A and B are shown apart, each in its own frame.
Chain A
Amino acid sequence: MKYPVMKKTFLALILLFAFLLRVPFFGDLPALYTDEASLGYSAWSILKTGRDEFGTLLPVSLRSFGDWKPSLSSYVMIPFIAVFGLNEIAVRAPSLLFGIGTIFLVYFLIGFGFGYHRWGLLTAFLLAITPWHIHHSRMAMLVGPTLFFLTLGIVGWVMQDRGKWWKWITVFSFGGTIYGYYSSRVIVPALLFLLLFAWRKRLLDRQWWKGWVGPMILGIIFILPLLLAFRTNPEVIFGRARHVSVFTDPSVRLRVWDNTTRDGETIASLVVRFWHNKPLAYTADILERFIQHIDPRFLFLTGDHAEPFELPGLGPMLWVMFPFFLLGFYRLVRERPRGWSVLLFWMFVAIIPASLTFLTPASNRSFFVVIPLVVITAFGTELLFIYRYRLLMIAVTILVILNVGYFLHQYYIRLPIELGVKYRYSLKNVVQSVISRQDKYEKVVLSNRAAHFIHFLFYTQQDPIKYQQTIRMNPALDKFGFEHIDGYGKYEFRQSFNWRDEPKQTGILYVAAEHEVPGDVPIGYNVREVIYYPNGKPAYEIFDL
């Protein structure tokens, strides 16, 4: 495949630029989140024992906090942990590499798959500077590697006639995607269905089907472990979905009930049901949640406010992209270039799982929409190069520089200061401080707000077998469906720390969030260390009696 040097150079520069944007303070910013620590520890446990921390041999789904995380992210961490040890960089390295890989794949899809190289380069560049993608390339929150495999699957599908092995790549990648993130178990089948619809003319071609027989067998083999695990424990697939689904949230039911009760006083019940019923209320609710994910306020201005996805004063996309997204969308529908239907299907399908959950809009659950959004934006941006309005190009370039500069400032400087609490900064310091003191105490009591057991397992590199032997599980799930560990070894983790309920004994080291520390402390209360947030405010206190 002949390919001009100029374009190669551009692509290399974009990938280098993407790397440089993503790599500063890689392990420390943002602070390691509980889910990342959990995935990392599971990977460490599998590496050391072949089993996760709960003793499951080569798990297809990780029990973690009772949320049954898909296991792909942990497996791809294993080589990095084997080389660099169990630390933040090793845990996040796959996200970075797969993130850069996705930028390349997107270029490949548009440039080689659809045949538009300029559009492809623009897409790669815009993805490289998109805050949403940068953030997820710096954190191990499941979606980074999954997006890579999803994109590779689509690349494989689009390229299926250009070589036999593309079909195998498609199946392998979609299989990987299913093991990557909860929502991909909805996205992959739905996307395949829509792709088959788009390629419907081929469905009657026997030769075409023949080419798929081998890859389909591989696909079945690939999915088999998940199906077998599901047969013995349905939680491995539905564990998380059940707790975050819109049908779990009572608000819609309550609204219907409220209206029904009020109307019921004066109108016949059948008529009341015609106006106020759950199917219609849920349909409207899901539709609204779907639309929240393409709301420009969410995408370009305010973004997600849930931890750990909030970016201070920023949306997940750069605001400068908004007019180009509109232009691109219009152009896409008007000109219908090759692959336009794939992009629209992708955009549509990527939001469906997120809109079936409450607490929306959610930037992680809808993360896979970033690719079609950026591709469409790039299609709009391409107009600048087609019409070559020099002044406009200069103006846009300046705006892009300003916008990226503002993002970098907010992300690398303001995030730890403004959102230190949300990102649970300084927990590593808590663990280090406790480790340095714990030998003098019989017990360490930690408030849920001050520390999480997983950070102790992670930073102390706890032996998984010893952990399994001393673990004290709490039998009750919390309101979000998470399991809790009451303690292991000499550590006790309080779900709700209340100083008044604590036995006032010596020989115990307490760790609590600053606001949980009692004002009416008895005589002999010794603050051993105060740990601060990056903005200088006190975060946690370590004390004894």
Chain B
Amino acid sequence: MISGMRRNTLVLLCIVLVSFFFRFLFLNSLPLSFQDEEAGWGVQANSIAQTGKDIFGQPFPLYWRLPESPHLPLYGYMTALSVTLFGLNEFAVRFPAAFFGALTPLVLFFLVKRLLKNEIAGFASAIFLAFSPWHIPLSRWGNEATLFVFFLTFGLERFFAAIEKKQFPAWTVLFFTLALLSDMTGFLLAPLVSLMLILSDRTKEIRNRWRIVIIGLGLFSLILFLLNPSLRLIIVEQSIFGEEINPTLWLVWVFFRNLFSVLSFEFLFFHGDERLIHGMNDIGLLFLGTLPLVFIGLYALLTKFKKQTYMILSLLVGISAVAALSRFVPDARTFLFGVIPLSTLAGLGLAVIIEWSKRVWWKRTLTFALMVVLGYNVLLAGHLYFGHYNKDSASQTQAVYKQLWVFINQHMETYDRIVLSGRTQSNLFMHGLFFLQIDPGHFQASGSKHGFDNFLIGDLSFDRIPDRRILLIAEPDFIPGKGEEIAIFSLADGNAAFIAWDIQR
């Protein structure tokens, strides 16, 4: 006989294995499209790992330029570590997101178990997160969202552990700070959650300590905020405050419209995010089968718990409010932390159902039917991701970047000059540095965003270029006066993304 504790450990181990399996399977080739942001992280991380400076010569930057917009630094430094371990490739860039994404269900289990004192709810929440059609796709490409979700969840778990032991929640301070340094949403959410925890805790002693923490965190964010005006600009530009709305009172209306969009069933259970990089086609962020479970969980929470109700609902409202401030709603990435309270509710719902169905045959049959639906949901999500995703996203321009740079690599010796044109030149350039594995020290010394070695970026006035043989990579709508078309780089839908021209004088 396996003891209860050992059995639980085994189950938990299985969940973690599944979580790792779904996040690491074919990680370097799925998603096929290597995003601009990923190329940026990879190139800059490689530069930091090798020289201690980014490609623009900034030593250990607080904000990472990828290449145009500033990003918070944590994901970059994590990538620098993984690039050192695995080399500069797609897997290394995606590794931190997948790794912390895969660990989050484990942390969620402990959080739910500690908060609700219900092991089944903990397991169920962790399972929902491990299989999540929302969390898995976002864990599989190099972006910082899963990082802040992990640290915020871990910080919360440590907070409740510290409360139980009447200790100072030092780990929480550390993890919240890491969350704050990892993502723009975390940057806004970490102080908000800290405030919420302080208000939730009635113990005077802890509250006084927390006052210090909140002040520290608040000051720290303020300093970070003030340090970089472009970060401030991005927050304003990407939020509803950047919209020209008159009268200003309409902002309230826009906020609520966004809030309802973020929390809409359509977004959560049916269609998810329209942008493929944030999810899949034809499926919601949560399994359709969890729809009744979320409500049952909510009802159980409202009727059976007090402090926990406040906590979980505050988390949900907090992240929804932050996500509703965005101009681009509904956005699965900004709202990613929502997966934590929603998985918790679904997990609690399932625990309630399992308890309810004991010993009555028709209740057990109903529960079994629900399990079948959930099982089908999981299988379908797996099929859509591993069977459809690359086909669906093959029409993204990024899908041909690698192919393009392999071509350039093969032909670059033949040409005096390689000119990259077009609207996506800055992204193309980052992909070039990545796929050609250009030495960052060399680039820092002689390159700029306008070109390096015999590469020229963005300049199409050929008359001024003295070289005799030029390889021009241009978007299809640009036709040079002379030259021969030597290759077309087409997307899966048949449309050309780039054309290579051989120009000889």
A contact residues vs B (CB 8 Å cutoff): 255, 259, 262-263, 267, 275, 284, 287-288, 291-292, 295-297, 300-302, 319, 330, 333-334
Tell me which of A291, A301, A334 contacts B260 (CB under 8 A).
A301
Within the complex, the shortest CB–CB distance from A298 to chain B, in Å, comes to 9
Tell me which of A255, A295, A330 contacts B264 (CB under 8 A).
A295
Pairwise interchain contact A296-B266, C-beta atoms closer than 8 A: no
Q: How far is the CA of A350 from the CA of B274 in the complex (A)?
A: 30
Pairwise interchain contact B302-A297, C-beta atoms closer than 8 A: no
- B259, closest chain A residue (CB): A296
B115 on interface, CB distance cutoff 8 Å? no
Cβ-Cβ contact count across A and B, 8 Å cutoff:
42
Q: How far is the CA of A292 from the CA of B302 in the complex (A)?
A: 25
Pairwise interchain contact A334-B270, C-beta atoms closer than 8 A: no
Pairwise interchain contact A295-B266, C-beta atoms closer than 8 A: yes
Pairwise interchain contact A262-B303, C-beta atoms closer than 8 A: no
Q: How far is the CA of A530 from the CA of B245 in the complex (A)?
A: 36
Q: How far is the CA of A334 from the CA of B269 in the complex (A)?
A: 25
Pairwise interchain contact B302-A330, C-beta atoms closer than 8 A: yes
B395 on interface, CB distance cutoff 8 Å? no
Residues of chain A within 8 A of B261, CB atoms compared: 297
- Which parts of B244-297 form the interface with A (CB within 8 Å)? 253, 256-257, 260-261, 264-266, 269-270, 282, 288
Within the complex, the shortest CB–CB distance from A311 to chain B, in Å, comes to 15
Determine, out of B158-166, B380-388, B435-443, the stretch whose residues face the partner at the interface: B380-388
Residues of chain B within 8 A of A330, CB atoms compared: 302
- B270, closest chain A residue (CB): A288
Q: Which interface class (under 10, 10 to 19, 20 to 34, 35 or more) fits B?
A: 20 to 34
Main DSSP-derived SS at the B contact region: helix
Pairwise interchain contact B270-A297, C-beta atoms closer than 8 A: no
B391 on interface, CB distance cutoff 8 Å? yes
B299 on interface, CB distance cutoff 8 Å? yes
Pairwise interchain contact A292-B266, C-beta atoms closer than 8 A: yes
- B387, closest chain A residue (CB): A263
Pairwise interchain contact A288-B266, C-beta atoms closer than 8 A: yes
In the A-B complex, the 10 residue pairs with the closest CB atoms: A291-B265, A297-B260, A296-B260, A288-B270, A275-B383, A301-B257, A295-B264, A275-B380, A262-B391, A297-B257
Within the complex, the shortest CB–CB distance from A318 to chain B, in Å, comes to 13
Given contacts A262-B391, A297-B257, A334-B303, contact A291 B266 (CB under 8 A): yes
Within the complex, the shortest CB–CB distance from A296 to chain B, in Å, comes to 5
Of A255, A259, A300, chain B has the most CB atoms within 10 Å of the CB of A259
Within the complex, the shortest CB–CB distance from B133 to chain A, in Å, comes to 14
- A302, closest chain B residue (CB): B257
Q: How far is the CA of A269 from the CA of B194 in the complex (A)?
A: 53
Residues of chain A within 8 A of B383, CB atoms compared: 275
Within the complex, the shortest CB–CB distance from B26 to chain A, in Å, comes to 16
Within the complex, the shortest CB–CB distance from B294 to chain A, in Å, comes to 13
Tell me which of A262, A267, A333 contacts B299 (CB under 8 A).
A333
Within the complex, the shortest CB–CB distance from B500 to chain A, in Å, comes to 30
Q: How far is the CA of A301 from the CA of B257 in the complex (A)?
A: 7
Residues of chain A within 8 A of B288, CB atoms compared: 284, 287
Q: How far is the CA of A267 from the CA of B383 in the complex (A)?
A: 11
Q: 1/0 per residue B380-413: CB within 8 Å of A?
A: 1001000110010000000000000000000000
Q: How far is the CA of A262 from the CA of B281 in the complex (A)?
A: 14
Q: How far is the CA of A284 from the CA of B299 in the complex (A)?
A: 24
Given contacts A263-B387, A284-B288, A334-B303, contact A295 B282 (CB under 8 A): no
Within the complex, the shortest CB–CB distance from B241 to chain A, in Å, comes to 20
Q: How far is the CA of A302 from the CA of B256 in the complex (A)?
A: 11
Tell me which of A255, A263, A287, A319 contacts B256 (CB under 8 A).
A319
- A275, closest chain B residue (CB): B383
Tell me which of B264, B303, B380, B388 contacts A297 (CB under 8 A).
B264
- B257, closest chain A residue (CB): A301
Residues of chain A within 8 A of B253, CB atoms compared: 301
Q: How far is the CA of A291 from the CA of B268 in the complex (A)?
A: 12
Residues of chain B within 8 A of A275, CB atoms compared: 380, 383
Q: 1/0 per residue B349-390: CB within 8 Å of A?
A: 000000000000000000000000000000010010001100
Residues of chain B within 8 A of A319, CB atoms compared: 256
Kindly list 5 other residue pairs between chains A and B, CB separation below 8 angstroms, not including A263-B388, A295-B260, A301-B253.
A263-B387, A291-B270, A296-B264, A333-B299, A334-B303
Within the complex, the shortest CB–CB distance from A246 to chain B, in Å, comes to 14
Within the complex, the shortest CB–CB distance from A427 to chain B, in Å, comes to 33
Q: How far is the CA of A502 from the CA of B264 in the complex (A)?
A: 50
